[in-house]
Structure 1
Amino acid sequence: MRSIILDVQGDTLSTEEKEYLAHPLVAGVILFTRNFSNLVQLKELVQQIRLHAKQQLIIGVDHEGGRVQRFRDGFTELPACGDLLVKSESIEQAMLLAKASAFVMASELIACDIDLSFAPVLDLNGISDVIKERSFSSDKLEVAQLASCYIDGMRLAGMPSTGKHFPGHGSVKADSHIALPVDNRSSEDIFNNDMQPFKTLINNNQLDAVMPSHVVYSQCDELPCGFSEFWLQKILKQTLGFTGAIISDDISMHGASFVGNHLSRTKAALDAGCDLILACNDPAAALTILDGLQVSNKSNESIITSLLADKSKLSLPLSKNSNWTDSKRLLLEFAERV
């Protein structure tokens, strides 16, 4: 079973990276700003990743818009999702912009042979230091409405969706990249508020994948969600009926550190119910996972396939794609207005 999504360190592949991309545990690669110089270089890097992997694999990136947009030069500047409603004249206008922004984002990435951006963020805009304007709104109904339109835009381009960070990261202040956030609210509060956008979109069959948070919800379980059978098995799969892929958040984040070393974290996340593990920003630790994790005979190729972009949906070149030109014009008009 291929379950590990790794990163690479530069804008070209090292000899070592070329070798471990073909490892039987590698399911994909996540890209960062450090991997980008320009469009030509990015397309070449993606081509080399696919060449040396010698197998089908997912190439992803966090490319939401606003402060979380990894590639800039040659890409449309995308608004933060939280600005769409705040700076629009109506919810209807914000919904159109959400779909347009997602289509532009997805089509520009797919044109570079990148499968997915890990989006949309379904967290409520509460007190979190790391979420803030990445969230569509502080209102659960508005988040579900706008995220639904956003996913429509992604799917129009052929990109799968990833709802994050289940069951909601917006109501804890600490950043799980550098701390272990603990949410002490009641299960009723979490279920009836933060979790509702996930529930709505799962019911609408709009989520291809879900990324759990590295947050401890102390009134529900002592483990962070991404390592919790309670959250992933009982709530996400059984109660909400989710049947898509579960992708861990980066196990190098501090919110995962109490579980042990990177190999222990990977095993714990897989045992809890994660299908794919993000292991980023620590190459040495990632190699310990590849060296220490047993290769299972169980196949998850259908999960990997479900997260590949459907390139047949996107008409290229983008300059002659009316959906892209119309959507980009909407975004430019919005940017000029605000």
Structure 2
Amino acid sequence: MASGRQPSDEAVPMEASRPRHERVTADEDGQRIDNFLIKRCTGVPRSHVYRLIRKGEVRVDGRRVKQTRKLVAGEQVRIPAIQLQPQQDVTVPDKLAAAAGKAIIVEHPDFLLVNKPAGIAVHGGSGLAFGFIDAIRQHLKEPKLELAHRLDRATSGCLLIGRSLKANRQLQDLFRQRTVIKRYIALVDGCWPDDIRLVDAPLKKNVEKAGERRVTVDSQGQEARTRFFIRQRFEQATLMEVELDTGRTHQIRVHARHSGHPIVGDTRYGDNSSNTRFRQAGLSRLFLHSSELAFDWQGERITVQAPVDSAWEESLRALREQ
């Protein structure tokens, strides 16, 4: 869905700006300083924004801050002189924008819940001119839509999008407070053991030479817990229901591999020979799908389920026939 190229996070900025001071608005109350700067400094690579914060060139009411510092309405932020990258408008092909619109499951005044297809990045960058969020913005003509969380490009299913900065911050807080129930379905390689129901293994993110993130089980990493429930067995694979207690990068994929049964089609953490065998049988995607999100919102219980697509269903039928 996303094609073309745009500058990566390591691109060298160009046009010069001047130092300035900006007030935090009521709508920005509670926003992190790094996200505030990324919004106010359009075209500046994220890596450059974080560098400015670390060097102390960004000040809030005259004081140095960390990138996790949450702003308060009325505070004054000093933004130093920055070399700005000329910003180009993001335009998504109309056909793809319309397809993204059809993926909307729930339209709430404060948020959207969509069923993201597999193979579509949620946002642009790293060589992608646009992402799924840009397609939704264009289709609905709502430029302020923001992702409340993320899904891997190869993962399909429930994606929550805020319709304002205030709503999106509140949604993100729900994820941080771990009050959002996140359920997935996954097809894993081999016969999953009956006695593995909880994988409690800390995860650590590492950056490889090519800049690619890879997550490993490491005692020095962040706590991570995943619950696995067997839904159906096949001769060469097991269909699982998965529930996250924590939400770490690539958590399900790494925990599945750690248990000896990687997710079918996982080219990063899976087994190459097994993936080849499954591809020959017609299973050519990552079989991980965010099937359900549930959370409380302004006194109302929101529960949304996203169905798998026809290609997923056809793959399971092929496994049953085998």
Higher relative contact order (CA 8 A, sep 6+): 1
* Structure that is richer in helix per residue: 1
* Structure that is richer in strand per residue: 2
Alignment TM class, shorter chain as reference = under 0.3
- Using the size of structure 2 for normalisation, the TM-score is 0.27
- Using the size of structure 1 for normalisation, the TM-score is 0.26
